[in-house]
Amino acid sequence: MQQYFQLLVSSIVLAMAFASMPGCANRAAALAREPADPEAVAEAIAARDYSRRPYASSRAYRHYARGMLDMHEGRLSRAKKEFREALLYDRDSSEIRIALLEVQLRLGKKDLAVDGAEALLADEPEHRRALLLVALFASDNDGAEVAIQALKGLLDAPSSSLEEYFRLSRLLVEQAGDTNALVIYRVLGWVNSLEASHWTQLASMLETNGLKDEARVAWENAIEANDGDAALYDSLGRICDALKDVECSIKAYRRAIALGGATSGSYLELASVLGRAGKLEEALRVEEEAIALLDPAQPETWVEAAFAAVARRDLDTALARFDEALRLDSEHMQAHLFRGFVLGELGRWQKAADSMRSVCRNTAYYFEARLHLGIFLSRAGEHEEALEILSALLGGRPEDPRLVVALASAEARAGKEEEGIGRLMEGIAASPGEALLVEEVSRIHTRAGRLEEAADALAEAVRTRPLDARLRYSYGVALEELGRTEEAVAEMKKILEFRPEHVDALNFIGYVWADRGVRLEEAENLLRLALSLDRNNAYVMDSLGWVLFRKGKIDEALPKLERAASLLDDQPIVWEHLGDAYAAAGRSEDAKASYEKALELLDELERDQDEPRDRLLEKLKELE
């Protein structure tokens, strides 16, 4: 008894000490308050809706919680066992039932899971997770109609759960067909109250799945929710560029820069778009700002700036920037490699080969460097070394069509034309209709003036692969070279039957009609369609400018022809078109400069160009 008394005293002393501690007075006071109003307590208890409790007992919840943890950590069999235990204590809990169904689905017992989901829907027709489960199962098994019906059930009963929006949208994206595209638009309209971060997630998901138009809508909604985020404008600029909406892209990148949070990448992307839009002065200014934003003392800065110049086809500027990168780091292999590519584009074959020799010391780029070293040496006339390099590469990759083409082309240039064609024909026999091989056979025949043989090789390939648009297009071009223009146009029309948005075929037909001065209205329609599909295609710009010139719309033709000449500054015919437009506009000096540029380019071509040269000389004479 004395022990109990001592324990009681100790407890009292401890309680008094606790109450006297700082911050504990409030606790002591709280204990001394009067009890709550019994009627208020009874009223609160009566107001609670016990019918909505998800779990009937603590045991049911304990097993459910363990099961969820097991499922999260991948212990699916244990999770299934826990959910079944939970159902023993609460058979009517929809949460436990759907959890068991989901783990069954993950274990591959799809039929069992879907049967259970349908039974749950019979009890609760609007149960969202059950509807999602049925839709997921149906989509995995090509049951598009069943999936759509389940999804419609979700759409008819909107939820505040953000996760469901994304799960639903992802499922819709994975489904094919116009029906699902319409549902996606409904989802986009349905979640118009989302925050910017949510729209960003949705936009990224849509963009990843190739739904660019829908992604653009989502990025625009993200910006509407947070107009001050430069990164969102960056993303909008990127997707607009992918959609070939140049003005939208420029506007978005400019806004990102104006907000002050743009990266150097934003400047370079803007410069690239500006360059392709013909706004060259502004493009250069923006690139200089990007270089200043980066570190001009670092070679990577100049490499990135060089890539931006390449994207807008300013090869001389690109070359100068690669040279600056190499001045800062003479062993920068990426700069050497792409400097070589640019030199090759400019036709400076020996210098291009020298760049590739520098790269060959680096194993990361060894194959590409050796391949292009061989190609450039062949073009520079160093045939023996070129053939040795390309033969060695082909020995390691005997079925690589790029190598077969490179070696055959080098053999033809070295005077071993029959060997080259023989090699290509062996490749074609092993892989009938291989476009790279067939086109090279045609090119070799064309360079030798054997236009009939060139067309015959392509005709045989087209018979083998009638739906190969690339081969059929090349065949049409070969027919045009032979003067069989009507047949060429017929081939292009065949392409449009199975590829109605084939830009090159649309351009070919439109240009032929424009050049002949026939069916000009149809030609303009075809070319405007082609330009809407590829807004930066310089060949289409030239063709459209030419058809407008033919229709007498000189003022409308000139900007397009000027833009085409700025992008295709190595094409004599483009400069001749521009000269004709200047002459028609009464701008004799500009016309003269354009004709002289065309003559200069003709002199650089390998093939005989007597006819166009005589035509240009006659036009220059008329201007005097």
So what's the pLDDT on residue 602?
Answer: 83
Are 311 and 276 in contact by the 8 Å Cβ rule? The answer is yes
Q: What is the pLDDT of residues 242-258, one digit of tens each?
A: 887 888 998 998 888 88
So what's the pLDDT on residue 1?
Answer: 38
Residues in the chain: 624
What is the mean predicted confidence (pLDDT) over 207-225? 81
Q: What is the pLDDT of residues 454-469, one digit of tens each?
A: 888 888 888 888 888 8
Q: What is the pLDDT of residues 187-198, one digit of tens each?
A: 555 555 556 777
So what's the pLDDT on residue 224?
Answer: 85
Q: What is the dihedral of CA 126, 132, 133, 136, to 10 degrees?
A: 150
So what's the pLDDT on residue 65?
Answer: 87
How far, CA to CA in Å, does 229 sit from each of 207, 219, 223, 233, 467?
19, 11, 7, 7, 47
So what's the pLDDT on residue 343?
Answer: 94
So what's the pLDDT on residue 378?
Answer: 93
What is the mean predicted confidence (pLDDT) over 356-362? 86
Q: How far apart are CA 530 and CA 104, in angstroms?
A: 52
For 567, the token pair is: 């992008």
Q: How far apart are CA 65 and CA 105, in angstroms?
A: 19
421 closest CA partner among 403, 435, 402, 442:
442
So what's the pLDDT on residue 11?
Answer: 37
So what's the pLDDT on residue 148?
Answer: 57
- pLDDT-based confidence at residue 205 (cuts at 50, 70, 90): confident
What is the mean predicted confidence (pLDDT) over 64-85? 85
Helix (H, G, I), strand (E, B) or coil at 329: coil
So what's the pLDDT on residue 12?
Answer: 31
Whether 513 shows a pLDDT value over 90: the answer reads yes
Whether 131 shows a pLDDT value over 80: the answer reads no
How far, CA to CA in Å, does 54 sit from each of 64, 87, 91, 97, 249?
11, 12, 11, 11, 51
- pLDDT-based confidence at residue 508 (cuts at 50, 70, 90): very high
For 525, the token pair is: 């329609």
Q: How far apart are CA 467 and CA 475, in angstroms?
A: 13
DSSP conformation letters of 515-583: HHT-SHHHHHHHHHHHHHH-TT-HHHHHHHHHHHHHTT-HHHHHHHHHHHHHH-TT-HHHHHHHHHHHH
Q: How far apart are CA 203 and CA 214, in angstroms?
A: 8
490 C-beta neighbours (distance < 10 Å), count: 13
What is the mean predicted confidence (pLDDT) over 24-29? 36
What is the mean predicted confidence (pLDDT) over 583-590? 92
Mean residue pLDDT of the chain comes to 79
Q: How far apart are CA 9 and CA 26, in angstroms?
A: 23
How far, CA to CA in Å, does 508 sit from each of 18, 456, 478?
94, 20, 12
575 C-beta neighbours (distance < 10 Å), count: 26
Backbone angles phi, psi at 471, to 5 degrees: -65, -45
Q: Which of 28-42, 147-161, 311-325, 423-437 has the largest mean confidence? A: 311-325
What is the mean predicted confidence (pLDDT) over 597-604? 85
What is the mean predicted confidence (pLDDT) over 555-564? 92
So what's the pLDDT on residue 168?
Answer: 56
554 closest CA partner among 522, 518, 580, 517:
580
Q: How far apart are CA 407 and CA 399, in angstroms?
A: 12
- pLDDT-based confidence at residue 51 (cuts at 50, 70, 90): very low
Are 616 and 602 in contact by the 8 Å Cβ rule? The answer is yes
- pLDDT-based confidence at residue 170 (cuts at 50, 70, 90): low
Whether 420 shows a pLDDT value over 90: the answer reads no
